[in-house]
A and B are shown apart, each in its own frame.
Chain A
Amino acid sequence: MERTIYREIKATPSVWMVAILLGAFVGAAGLSVLTIEHHGHIITGMNNQIVWGLPHVFAIFLIVAASGALNVASIASVFGKKAYKPMSRFSALLSIALLLGGLSVLVLDLGRPDRLLIAMTSYNFTSIFAWNMILYNGFFVIVGFYLAVQMITGLSAKMVKMAGLAAFIWRLALTTGTGSIFGWLVARPGYDAAIMAPLFIVMSFAFGLAFFLLTTLVLFKLSDREFGDVLLKRMGSLLGVFVAAVLYFTAIQHLTNIYATEHAGVERFFLREGGIYTTLFWLVQVLIGGLIPMALVFLRPSRQSTIWASILVIIGGLAQVYVIVIGGQAYPLEIFPGYEVLEGFNEGMVNSYTPSLYELALGLGGVAVTLLAAGVGVKILRVLPTNLSDANVPADS
Chain B
Amino acid sequence: MSKCAELTRRDILKSGAAVTTLSLASGVTLMAFGGSDADAAGADAGKRWGLLIDASKCDANCTDCVTACKTENGWDAHGDHASPETSSAWIRKVTLKDRQTGRKVSAPVMCQHCDTPPCVDVCPTGASMKRADGIVLVDKHICIGCRYCMMACPFKARSFVHEPVHDQSVNAPRGMGTVEACTLCVHRIDKGRIPACVESCEAAGHSAILFGDLKDPDSPISKALEAYPSIALRDDLGLNPAVRYQNL
Contact = CB atoms under 8 A, between A and B. Distances in A.
Given A41-B160, A118-B125, A341 B94 contact: yes
B96 A40 contact: no
Contacts of B22: none
Contacts of A336: 94, 96, 233, 248
Interface in A32-80: 39-43, 46-49, 51-52
Contact of B143 (A39, A111, A341): A111
Given A41-B177, A118-B17, A339-B96, A48 B124 contact: no
B45 to A, nearest CB: 20
A14 interface: no
Nearest to B122: A127
B93 A344 contact: yes
Contacts of B179: 111
A396 interface: no
Contact of A187 (B109, B146, B152, B178): B152
Interface residues of A, number: 53
A interface, by DSSP: helix, strand, loop or mixed? loop
A342 B106 CA distance: 10
Interface string B147-166: 11011111110111111100
Contact of B163 (A42, A112, A338, A345): A42
B79 A40 contact: yes
Contact of A127 (B83, B96, B100, B148): B148
Contacts of A347: 94, 156
Contacts of B106: 343
Nearest to B140: A112
A46 B164 CA distance: 16
Contact of B24 (A47, A115, A122, A338): A115
A13 B157 CA distance: 55
A111 B95 contact: no
B216 interface: no
Given A111-B177, A187-B234, A41 B124 contact: no
B98 A338 contact: yes
Interface string A349-366: 001100000000000000
Interface string B73-92: 00000010111111111001
Contacts of A333: 154-156
A255 interface: no
Contact of B150 (A40, A42, A48, A342): A48
B237 interface: yes
Contacts of A113: 144
B82 A42 contact: yes
B83 A47 contact: yes
B179 to A, nearest CB: 7
B118 interface: yes
B156 A185 contact: no
A117 B125 CA distance: 10
A188 interface: yes
A230 interface: no
Given A111-B144, A111-B179, A112-B143, A339 B97 contact: yes
A39 B145 CA distance: 15
A115 B150 contact: no
A41 to B, nearest CB: 5
A156 interface: no
Interface string A310-339: 000000000000000000010001011011
A174 to B, nearest CB: 16
B121 A126 contact: yes
A112 B145 contact: yes
B153 A342 contact: no
**Which of A49, A118, A129, A333 counts the most B-chain CB atoms under 10 A from its CB?**
A118
B93 A343 contact: yes
B188 interface: no
B233 A112 contact: no
A384 B94 CA distance: 61
Nearest to A188: B151
A122 B126 contact: yes
Given A40-B163, A42-B79, A335-B156, A340 B125 contact: no
Contacts of B146: 110-111, 119, 129
A292 interface: no
A386 B159 CA distance: 54
A124 interface: yes
A346 B99 CA distance: 18
Given A342-B104, A347-B94, A187 B118 contact: yes
Interface of A: 39-43, 46-49, 51-52, 110-119, 121-124, 126-130, 133, 181, 184-188, 329, 333, 335-336, 338-347, 351-352
Closest 8 CB pairs of A and B: A111-B145, A111-B177, A187-B154, A129-B124, A47-B85, A344-B94, A339-B96, A343-B95
